[in-house]
Structure formats: structure tokens, C-alpha cells
Amino acid sequence: MYHQEDIIGIWKGEHQGKELLFEFKSDQTCVLSFSDKVHATIVVLNGNFDTDFSKKPIMLSVRNIPQLNHSLHTILEFVKGNSIRIAKFVPRWKLRPISFDLKTSMELKRINN
């Protein structure tokens, strides 16, 4: 069984040509970074995250994002020890994915500090 502290840390991966760097902090804040090497652009989102580990799959919401006028909602699951799979983010809670699509899901590995 996983708990809130299991998500805390820095996670890195690649998805659709973008390098992803997600940091979840113990004070419930997070930084989501999407780096596009081809176009030399980086999008960084800051916010407060909330998880519900009592649900399967685990629900993840990022709220209070100054760079957006809406929250982001998704699901996640732990795979192979220090890896997580995150479904695509959606702007409305009711549109949150209920399963993982291999084409749109993001695989991230924990970076050891």
C-alpha cells in the first residue's frame, strides 16, 4: 500500500518529444517542468498537489497554478519500484481518466538526490 510520502521527490521522464521533470514536495507544493528540446522551450507550472491513495488508480490533482486559469487532474500508479505512470492531465475533475492509455500516459523514474 502506498502513502502520500511515496510520491515526494523528483521524477524524470520523456513523453512525446518533451523531457518531463516533476517535483512533489512534502509541503504539498509541486513544480511540473515540460522541456521541448526541438523547439528549445520550457513550460514550468507551479501549484499545490493533492492525492487520494484510497482510490485505485490513485487520483492526483494540481491546483492553484498561477500559469493556468484551471486545475489539472489525472491518475497515477506506481510501477516497478521507483517508477510511476501518470495519465494525461485534464482541466476538469469529471473528465479525469479512469484507466491508462499507453499512447498518452507518461512514465517517470525517481531521481535519487
- Residue 113 has what pLDDT? 57
The answer to whether 112 and 17 have CB atoms below 8 angstroms apart is: no
- Residue 1 has what pLDDT? 81
Distance separating alpha carbons of residues 78 and 60, to the nearest angstrom: 13
Digitized pLDDT (tens) for each residue of the chain, 113 residues in all? 888 899 999 999 999 899 999 999 999 999 999 999 888 899 999 999 999 999 999 999 999 999 999 999 999 999 987 999 999 999 999 999 999 998 999 999 999 75
CB within 8 Å of 52: residues ≥ 6 apart: 58, 59
Distance separating alpha carbons of residues 21 and 15, to the nearest angstrom: 11
Which segments of the chain are extended strands (E)? 9-15, 18-24, 29-36, 41-52, 58-63, 72-79, 83-86, 106-111
